[in-house]
Amino acid sequence: MDDKKLFRIASEARKKAYSPYSKFNVGAAVLTSSGKVYAGCNIENATYGATCCAERVAIFKAVSEGETNIKKIAIEGDNDGLTFPCGICRQVMAEFAPDMRVVLGKKNGEIEIFSLNQDLLPHTFELD
Ligand code: THU
């Protein structure tokens, strides 16, 4: 699946965001090595701390279906420009693909490509 199509799926997922506290809606979609796509949105909680980002919802959906080989992720947030994944999500992404392709886009559909280990999370934490 090409980057733009995956980004459109992330954009659709953003519409399902449960974000009554921040009102900041995020959508994400991951493509796995089997060719399947899992989408997610941010899910907030009244405790705030129990909130889960869209990226982790999408990744955890894939992994809980036995799909740990993730090729790329697309993300759309509420910013005017690109929405970059938070630090916790970067580390979760690195768990499943240190060299994950990260497709970030704006609401006008323009996308930019980043590499997880080269651009977003060099020197990932690893257990020996
Ligand atoms: N959020 C994400 O879904 N992904 C990120 O990478 C950063 C932040 C969500 C969490 C919260 O629901 C809202 O955006 C504001 O932080």
**What is the tens place of the pLDDT at every residue in 43-79?**
999 999 999 999 999 999 999 999 999 999 999 999 9
Residue-level pLDDT at 32: 98
Q: Is the CB of 55 under 6 A from ligand 1?
A: yes
> Cα–Cα–Cα angle for 117, 120, 124, nearest 5°?
50
Q: Is the CB of 73 under 6 A from ligand 1?
A: no
For residues 37 and 31, the answer to whether their CB atoms sit within 8 Å is yes
Residue-level pLDDT at 12: 98
Amino acid sitting at position 82: L
**Would you name the residues annotated as active-site residues?**
55
Q: Is the CB of 54 under 6 A from ligand 1?
A: yes
Task: Evaluate if residue 101 carries a pLDDT over 90.
Answer: yes
Please identify, by atom number, the ligand 1 atom nearest to the C-alpha of residue 25: 14
Residue-level pLDDT at 11: 97
Q: Number of C-alpha atoms within 13 angstroms, CB side, residue 123?
A: 0
CA of 128 to the centre of ligand 1 (A): 30
